[in-house]
């Protein structure tokens, strides 16, 4: 996959993921707004029913007082008939005229103020009765004259219908108009009405309420009510016969936001969980893609370097064999031995490279059997130094040891740990352009022994330091590799140190050299 195509895919996938997150957030926000609208609608409907319940409660109270008055044998002071409907019809077949009349009979009673504490001596309460009357007139002439008197009359003194009830309400509203609000309804009654209606409407959250007389609070209120223009919902109560009122019932829900969120909490939690899973999966996929690209590039570099490393000894071996086959050379024993030694050295070099690769592969699969025994770290250091002494001397450099640790007994594999030290020393030599100058230190820190190998070579950048122990990793210097290798040496070093329950780190500065520090646990 090309670099541009890879970047394009990553950008498109990232934009798609961001789009999904925004869509989820938009959907949740819209759902919350819809829940809020539905909640407000349910509250307003509930308050309307509560307002009606308060009115019905007051109407029943008035009716009980009226019955108590009539029960005491009082007679009405006046009776007033209010005609509400007159309807005429004519039947041509029977020659009869029919007149229907509906009226309300109002009987007024003067009642002492002991029934109504409104600051007056007495008030009037009224009883309303519905009267229906039907008269039938015969329009047939009798003795040449048409009778003006009805031939039949039907009367019905029924209970109040809707028209009679409207007069009844109008009268009781006039009675209660100036009555103190706290005597018309109590806090307990308002609270019970609201609690009952909210429960029926499925509104299950704490609320505060108050009845206001225009802009002034009344005694009918809960302890913690606060009028909040943004969240308080109100509706008129104690309406007059024209549907107007100076009183308003307000309710406020302190935990409204929390309640609304709880209604969609399940959806929010599932959305967060699934979105998080998608983000984790996406991040992991992107990381793996980038990692695979890096590994692919590193393996390509490794193959190129390995090919170069093998090509040189193979070419040398071929040249040596061609020289030996030359009749002039084959008779020269010294030259033959020289070429044979060259072939052996190059073969050994290729064998060492193959072993290095196989050794790392076995470590990755945990197939490398490393037996450990008690050894002196100082002995391993001195043995490793002898392996590189001649090369250092040949380049006019030095390796100085400063073995100051009083205790150096560790549990280690002599061969592998010697290779660890040799690899670090070998890197110090290879990455020193001038004469290699290497110092090896040991010291005791608590129950551990520290081994420090410092050089004054080329050093490393911060980025290289972070990745120097990765398998196949080598610092890129374009297509030019002044130092040959496969990026396996330090990876092998780290795996061996880790297997010995140790720790390795590096401190370096570009152009000023590097210091590798190995910490190993001591054994008694």
pLDDT tens sequence for the chain (524 residues) = 667 887 888 888 888 888 888 888 898 888 888 888 998 899 999 999 998 888 877 777 666 666 665 666 555 554 555 555 555 666 666 677 766 666 656 555 555 544 444 444 455 555 556 656 667 666 655 454 545 566 655 555 455 545 445 555 665 565 566 667 777 788 898 899 999 998 888 888 889 999 998 888 888 889 888 888 778 899 888 877 677 778 889 999 988 888 888 888 888 888 889 888 988 888 888 888 887 877 777 677 667 666 766 776 787 788 888 888 888 788 788 888 888 888 887 787 677 667 766 766 666 565 556 788 999 999 999 988 887 887 888 888 999 999 999 999 999 988 888 888 988 898 888 888 889 999 999 999 999 999 999 999 888 888 888 888 876 565 544 433 444 444 456 877 888 898 889 999 999 988 889 999 999 999 87
Report pLDDT for 12: 87
What's the CA gap between 493 and 505, in Å, rounded? 11
CB 185 within 8 Å of CB 221: no
Domain covering 294-362 assigned CATH 1.10.287.130 in the classification: yes
Structure tokens at 367: 């197939």
Q: Which sequence spans correspond to the domains of the chain?
A: 3-58+182-263, 74-179, 294-362, 370-521
Give the pLDDT confidence of 163-218 residue by residue, as tens digits: 445 555 665 565 566 667 777 788 898 899 999 998 888 888 889 999 998 888 88
* Residue 133 confidence (pLDDT): 66
Cβ neighbors of 183 (< 8 A, separation 6 or more) are 117
Q: What's the topology of domain 74-179?
A: Nuclear Transport Factor 2; Chain: A, (3.10.450)
Question: 31 and 304 in contact (C-beta within 8 Å)?
Answer: no
The pairs formed by 498-506 with CB atoms below 8 angstroms and a separation of 24 or more are: 499/363, 499/370, 500/372, 500/410, 500/411, 500/412, 500/413, 500/417, 504/469, 506/460, 506/465, 506/468
3-state secondary structure of 186: coil
Distance CA(403)–CA(377), nearest Å, equals 10
Quote the pTM value.
Answer: 0.46
Report the alpha-carbon distance of residue 101 to residue 86 in Å, rounded. 4
Looking only at the bridges linking them, the beta strands covering 152-158 and 208-213 are unpaired
Cβ distance 408 to 378 under 8 Å? yes
Tokens describing residue 508: 């370096």
Alpha helices in 365-488 (DSSP H): 377-394, 414-430, 462-467
What is the Cα–Cα distance from 72 to 61, expressed in whole angstroms?
17
pLDDT score recorded for residue 451: 95
Question: Is 370-521 a domain of CATH 3.30.565.10?
Answer: yes
* DSSP secondary structure code for residue 479 in this structure: B
Q: Nearest-CA neighbor of 110 among 174, 66, 166?
A: 66
């Amino acid at each position: 996959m090309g670099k541009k195509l890879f970047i394009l895919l990553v950008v498109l996938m990232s934009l798609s993921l961001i789009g999904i997150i925004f869509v989820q957030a938009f959907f949740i926000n819209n759902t919350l707004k819809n829940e809020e609208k539905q909640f407000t609608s349910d509250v307003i409907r509930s308050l309307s029913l509560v307002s009606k319940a308060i009115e019905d409660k007051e109407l029943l109270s008035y009716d009980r007082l009226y019955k108590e008055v009539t029960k005491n044998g009082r007679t009405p002071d006046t009776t007033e008939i209010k005609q509400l409907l007159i309807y005429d019809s004519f039947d041509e077949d029977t020659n009869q005229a029919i007149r229907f009349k509906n009226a309300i009979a109002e009987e007024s009673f003067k009642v002492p103020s002991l029934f109504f504490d409104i600051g007056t001596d007495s008030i009037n309460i009224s009883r309303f009765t519905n009267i229906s009357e039907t008269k039938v007139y015969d329009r047939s002439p009798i003795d040449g004259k048409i009778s003006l008197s009805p031939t039949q009359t039907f009367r019905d003194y029924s209970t109040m219908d809707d028209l009679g009830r409207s007069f009844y309400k109008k009268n009781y509203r006039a009675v209660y108009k100036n009555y103190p609000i706290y005597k018309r309804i109590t806090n307990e009654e308002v609270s019970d009405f609201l609690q009952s209606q909210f429960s029926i409407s499925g509104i299950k959250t704490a609320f505060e309420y108050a009845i206001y007389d225009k802009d002034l609070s009344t005694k009918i209120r809960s302890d913690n009510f606060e009028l909040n223009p943004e969240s308080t919902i109100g509706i008129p109560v104690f309406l007059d016969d024209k549907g107007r009122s100076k009183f308003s019932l307000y309710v406020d829900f302190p935990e409204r936001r929390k309640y609304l969120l709880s209604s969609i909490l399940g959806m929010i939690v599932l959305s967060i969980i699934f979105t998080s899973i998608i983000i984790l999966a996406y991040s992991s996929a992107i990381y793996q893609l980038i990692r695979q690209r890096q590994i692919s590039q590193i393996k390509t570099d490794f193959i190129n370097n390995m090919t170069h490393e093998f090509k040189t000894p193979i070419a040398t071996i071929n040249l040596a064999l061609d020289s030996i086959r030359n009749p002039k050379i084959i008779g020269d024993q010294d030259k033959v031995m020289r070429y044979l030694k060259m072939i052996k050295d190059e073969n050994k070099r290729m064998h060492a490279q193959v072993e290095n690769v196989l050794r790392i592969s076995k470590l990755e699969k945990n197939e490398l059997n490393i037996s450990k025994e008690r050894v002196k770290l100082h002995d391993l250091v001195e043995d490793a130094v002898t392996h590189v002494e001649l090369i250092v001397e040949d380049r006019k450099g030095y390796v100085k040891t400063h073995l100051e640790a009083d205790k150096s007994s560790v549990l280690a594999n002599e061969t592998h740990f010697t290779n660890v030290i040799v690899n670090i020393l070998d890197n110090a030599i290879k990455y020193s352009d001038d004469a290699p100058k290497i110092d090896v230190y040991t010291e005791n820190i608590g129950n551990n022994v520290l081994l420090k190998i410092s050089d004054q070579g080329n050093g490393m950048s911060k980025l290289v330091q972070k990745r120097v122990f990765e398998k196949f990793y080598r610092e890129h210097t374009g297509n030019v590799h002044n130092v040959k290798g496969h990026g396996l040496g330090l990876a092998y070093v780290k795996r061996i140190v880790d297997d010995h329950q140790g720790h390795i780190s590096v401190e370096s500065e570009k152009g000023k050299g590097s210091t590798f520090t190995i910490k190993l646990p001591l054994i008694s």
